[in-house]
Amino acid sequence: MAFPETRMRRLRYNSVLRDMVTETHLSVDDLVMPLFVCAGTNVRNPIGSMPGNYQLSVENLVEECKKVYASGVRAVLLFGIPAEKDEDGSVACEHNGIVQTATRAIKKEIEDLYIIADVCNCEYTTHGHCGTIIDGDVDNDTTLETLARQSVSLAEAGVDMIAPSDMMDGRVGKIRKALDEAHFEKIPIMAYSAKFASAFYGPFRDAAESAPKFGNRATYQMNPANSNEAVREVQLDIEEGADIVMVKPAMAFLDIVYRVKTEFKMPVAAYNVSGEFSMVKATGEKGWIDEARVMIEVLTSIKRAGADIIITYHAVEAANIIKGINEQ
């Protein structure tokens, strides 16, 4: 039936009805808050390009985690900024590594906070690349060894989930095997499966002090123009044992989120990355957009596209808004 019998506006005249027919509901359960932990004590360095985000030393990180948990967000994604870096990221595999230390401290105080550890070498190498350099480029198979060691060490420290973000071939299988051999068969892997070589990571690299000192990440991260390749990456990670597959960034890659969700019956995560966050913050600060509404619209779009899990620096702010809406 067409107009005038059908009138699409009929369901839009009343707010109760509009709520009834709302198709996508953002929930605090969907959100993961990324946090940056650094060496030292009493450190709370504001990250200039990411308002409201800080490099935190362990005891301040624990306090921040309490605030996150109190907001209703029950999962964090940890990134470490070590005191010393080295050539191959071995510092990330140490018992007293920065994320390992942070994890033990958080678990002691907030047992139920779910801790996801990003696994990558770029924050830990002197050159800022995600793996070991041989002949001027990241060597895939050598890097797999440090990634596996880092993962096992983080599991020993008590993280709940491992999230490899390096984009080496074969790393999910290698990490799964290493975790299983160390009896961590219950620890899931959330793979950054379709991770693009994106300019949206700019602010993060200030935050994590992880910008490459030479070249770029184009030999390991994906070309943002490619979609079929993303599907192949996801397929391979699933075959290697990924429990959750991730698309990153989110906003400019919602077609990939949708494709991954429809082609694979898998839980899908999307990473609303630093540059996406900073754009909303900067335009909000200038008064050019309604920051809170744009934030919720962006996060809802990511969910509507098919993401089950949204990793976002807006997590705590969004949780407070969602709670406000639910209490109305």
| Contact set with ligand PBG (CB under 6 A) | 118, 120, 122, 130, 165, 201, 204-205, 210, 273-274
Complex with ligand PBG: residue 101 or 274, whichever CB lies closer: 274
Single-letter code of the amino acid located at 29: D
Residue closest to ligand PBG, measured at CB: 204
N-terminal to C-terminal alpha carbon distance within the chain: 37
Nearest-approach distance from CB 234 to ligand PBG, in angstroms: 17
Nearest-approach distance from CB 279 to ligand PBG, in angstroms: 12
Complex with ligand PBG: residue 71 or 143, whichever CB lies closer: 143
Separation in Å, CA 232 to CA 138, 226, 238, 260: 21, 11, 10, 10
The DSSP letter of residue 223 is P
Query: Where are the extended beta strands (E) located within the chain?
Result: 31-38, 44-46, 54-57, 75-81, 114-119, 133-134, 137-138, 161-164, 190-195, 244-248, 268-272, 309-312
Nearest-approach distance from CB 245 to ligand PBG, in angstroms: 15
Question: Nearest-CA neighbor of 276 among 261, 292, 295, 258?
Answer: 295
Return the number of other C-beta atoms located less than 10 Å from residue 48's C-beta. Answer: 11
Token pair 């990250």: residue: 47
Nearest-approach distance from CB 280 to ligand PBG, in angstroms: 13
Question: Nearest-CA neighbor of 197 among 212, 177, 208, 207?
Answer: 212
**In angstroms, rounded to a whole number, what is the distance separating the alpha carbons of residues 12 and 241?**
45
CB 310 within 8 A of CB 299: yes
Complex with ligand PBG: residue 110 or 195, whichever CB lies closer: 195
Nearest-approach distance from CB 165 to ligand PBG, in angstroms: 4
The residues annotated as belonging to the active site are 195, 248
Nearest-approach distance from CB 93 to ligand PBG, in angstroms: 16
Question: Cα 44–48–52 angle (5° rounding)?
Answer: 60
Complex with ligand PBG: residue 89 or 173, whichever CB lies closer: 89
Question: Nearest-CA neighbor of 55 among 276, 203, 161?
Answer: 203
Complex with ligand PBG: residue 125 or 153, whichever CB lies closer: 125
Complex with ligand PBG: residue 110 or 130, whichever CB lies closer: 130
